[in-house]
Chains A and B, each alone.
Chain A
Amino acid sequence: MNVVTNNDLQCTIALAALENVLDPEIGLNVVDLGLIYRLEFDEPGLGIAVAMTLSTPYCPMGESITAAVEQVLKETFTGISVTIELTFQPPWSYDRISEAGKIFLSR
């Protein structure tokens, strides 16, 4: 679940917030599911660019998940603009699930 970033501190805060965004079907959050690829912060703190994926293109829950990511980041970093780039390069694979995520799913 390696996330590329240009600001480690802000990224840690963002990922902690994004742990509240769950895939509704699986019940696992988007961070442990490995859906977040990149979090880039504008230096003046004006915007966040998120590159993320879905477990499958045209996932029925896709729009809900991306909308939730945007909303949670806007709530965490008040007054900041959030742009989300949905990418399938590289495609998501099960290897992106974190160890905590694998333990959650194996319960």
Chain B
Amino acid sequence: MALGWGTMIIMGASHQLLPVLTENRLFSVALAYVSFVLAAIGIPLLVYAFYTFQLGWPARWGGSAIVVAIFCFVINIWGTLTGGNRDNVHAVYAVTASVWLLLAAFTGLALVYNFTSPFLPQGSLAYLPFHAHIGIAGWFLLLVIGVGSRLIPMFLISKYANERLLWIIYFLINGGLLSFLFLFFLPAGLSFAWLPIIVVFIALVLFGYYCYCCYRERIRRQVDSRMKISLSSTGMLWIPPILLIILVAALPVGHVDSRLVLVYGFITFFGWITAIILGMTFKTLPFIVWNKIYHARSGAGSSPNPGELVDNSLFRAMMVAWLAGSLVFIAGICCRRVPVLRAGAALLVSAAVLYNWNVWKVLTYKSPAK
């Protein structure tokens, strides 16, 4: 989920959006292809290894391929940034996120090796929160805020700009992450586990405020459904840290409800990250396809709006299936009822099918004959 769905699609989109963020050409298209091929080989290998729980060569080779893919991605981001506007806060977010991703991938690979040939003081499972939160907050959160803070005002045509606020958010998230790393390895660190969560939560509230100001000061009054979904995912950002605070509060009592842990993971990946991807795919993909079809015909009569390349009925059906599936699945986790979980999973699979169908329709879009 985190690698195949979240990371792969966000890495792909980043290659497309980096030039807009850094105001510079992509450093290397060839490196982007190398990164894609390695990730496309490594991720299925790792999925196979986890599914069969054989953490031998498939996990090791798969993990290694992913680390090299991410290393290529980091070089590409760094090369693009150094040739462009270095003071650009959005680009700094993207570079920092990619470094956190590399660290998360290295940690993941080390945990895979530690499973079969232990070399760390504790078992691999003990380090999973460390690995997961570098990925969630360091990679996903930083990148989404860095890219979102550029694209949201751009698509809304908003007059609002507040670079200072974005820098404050940047330092809060990275400060929260660094304090989390420090506390993780400190013997008494668990007692202060709430500290990084509160710091990151404040950053999320400030980002929510930034998005609200962009929305309030928009020149374009009409907001399409894809943008609404992306904006609503900002509100969803606040739920995982609230659940984390409850979980951390339960730690000293020694009674951590496993259902809450599952809901936390589910809302982070199926809720927040998926909502952004569902909204932004159908906001940015049509641009790429539109440019291919209509570039040569610019100015030669009317051409559709890129948004018209998306099948809106399919999009609405997908969003309904995703929302219903998520709610039913969370209910299934809470009441521990397998039929409810199956119903939720079926709805989520329907949403995935509708997503792929709509992506396919956009990719194979043909201009109507005149």
Point out residues on A near B: beta carbons under 8 Å: 20-21, 24-27, 55-61, 63-65, 67-72, 75, 94, 97, 102, 105-107
Residues of A with C-beta under 8 A to B57: none
Q: How far does the alpha carbon of A97 sit from the alpha carbon of B306 in the complex, in Å? A: 22
Interface size class of B (residues with CB under 8 A): 20 to 34
Residues of B with C-beta under 8 A to A71: 298-300
Point out residues on B near A: beta carbons under 8 Å: 16, 19-20, 23-25, 154-155, 157, 159, 219-222, 287-288, 290-291, 294-295, 298-300, 303-307
User: What does DSSP make chain A's interface, helix, strand, loop or mixed?
Assistant: loop
Residues of B with C-beta under 8 A to A61: 287, 290-291
Q: Are A67 and B299 touching (Cβ within 8 A)?
A: yes
**Which 5 pairs show the lowest CB-CB distances between chains A and B?**
A68-B299, A68-B298, A71-B299, A58-B19, A57-B23
Residues of A with C-beta under 8 A to B222: 107
Least CB distance from B222 to A in Å reads 7
Quick one: given A56-B20, A56-B154, A94-B159, are A107 and B295 in contact (CB under 8 Å)? no
Q: Are B20 and A94 touching (Cβ within 8 A)?
A: no
Quick one: given A55-B154, A97-B219, are A25 and B287 in contact (CB under 8 Å)? yes
Q: Are B220 and A60 touching (Cβ within 8 A)?
A: no
- B20 CB contact (under 8 Å) in A25, A58, A67, A102: A58
Q: Are A105 and B20 touching (Cβ within 8 A)?
A: no
Least CB distance from B351 to A in Å reads 26
Q: Are B219 and A105 touching (Cβ within 8 A)?
A: yes
Residues of A with C-beta under 8 A to B306: 24-25
Least CB distance from A12 to B in Å reads 19
Besides A64-B291, A106-B221, 19 new A-B residue pairs in contact (Cβ under 8 A), listed by A number: A20-B299, A21-B298, A21-B299, A24-B290, A24-B294, A24-B303, A24-B306, A27-B305, A55-B154, A58-B19, A58-B24, A60-B16, A61-B290, A67-B298, A71-B299, A94-B157, A97-B219, A105-B157, A106-B220
Quick one: given A25-B305, A71-B300, A94-B157, are A106 and B295 in contact (CB under 8 Å)? no
Least CB distance from B40 to A in Å reads 24
Residues of B with C-beta under 8 A to A20: 299
Q: Are A60 and B20 touching (Cβ within 8 A)?
A: yes
Residues of A with C-beta under 8 A to B299: 20-21, 67-72, 75
Least CB distance from A48 to B in Å reads 15
Residues of A with C-beta under 8 A to B155: 25
Least CB distance from B198 to A in Å reads 35
Q: Are A60 and B298 touching (Cβ within 8 A)?
A: no
Least CB distance from B153 to A in Å reads 10
Q: Are B291 and A60 touching (Cβ within 8 A)?
A: yes
Least CB distance from A77 to B in Å reads 14
Residues of B with C-beta under 8 A to A63: 291, 295
Quick one: given A25-B287, A60-B287, A105-B219, are A67 and B295 in contact (CB under 8 Å)? yes
Least CB distance from B38 to A in Å reads 26
Residues of B with C-beta under 8 A to A21: 298-299
Least CB distance from A33 to B in Å reads 10
- B220 CB contact (under 8 Å) in A59, A69, A75, A105: A105
Residues of A with C-beta under 8 A to B287: 25, 60-61
Least CB distance from B63 to A in Å reads 34
Q: How far does the alpha carbon of A104 sit from the alpha carbon of B154 in the complex, in Å? A: 17
Q: Which residue of A lies closest to B296 (CB)?
A: A67
Q: How far does the alpha carbon of A107 sit from the alpha carbon of B298 in the complex, in Å? A: 26
B19, B23, B298 — most chain A CB neighbours (10 Å): B298
Least CB distance from A74 to B in Å reads 9
Q: How far does the alpha carbon of A97 sit from the alpha carbon of B24 in the complex, in Å? A: 25
Q: Are B288 and A64 touching (Cβ within 8 A)?
A: no
Q: How far does the alpha carbon of A60 sit from the alpha carbon of B151 in the complex, in Å? A: 12
Q: Are A65 and B298 touching (Cβ within 8 A)?
A: yes
Q: Which residue of B lies closest to A55 (CB)?
A: B154
A-B contact pairs, 8 of them (CB 8 A): A21-B298, A25-B287, A65-B298, A75-B299, A94-B157, A94-B159, A94-B219, A102-B219
Quick one: given A58-B23, A94-B219, are A26 and B157 in contact (CB under 8 Å)? yes
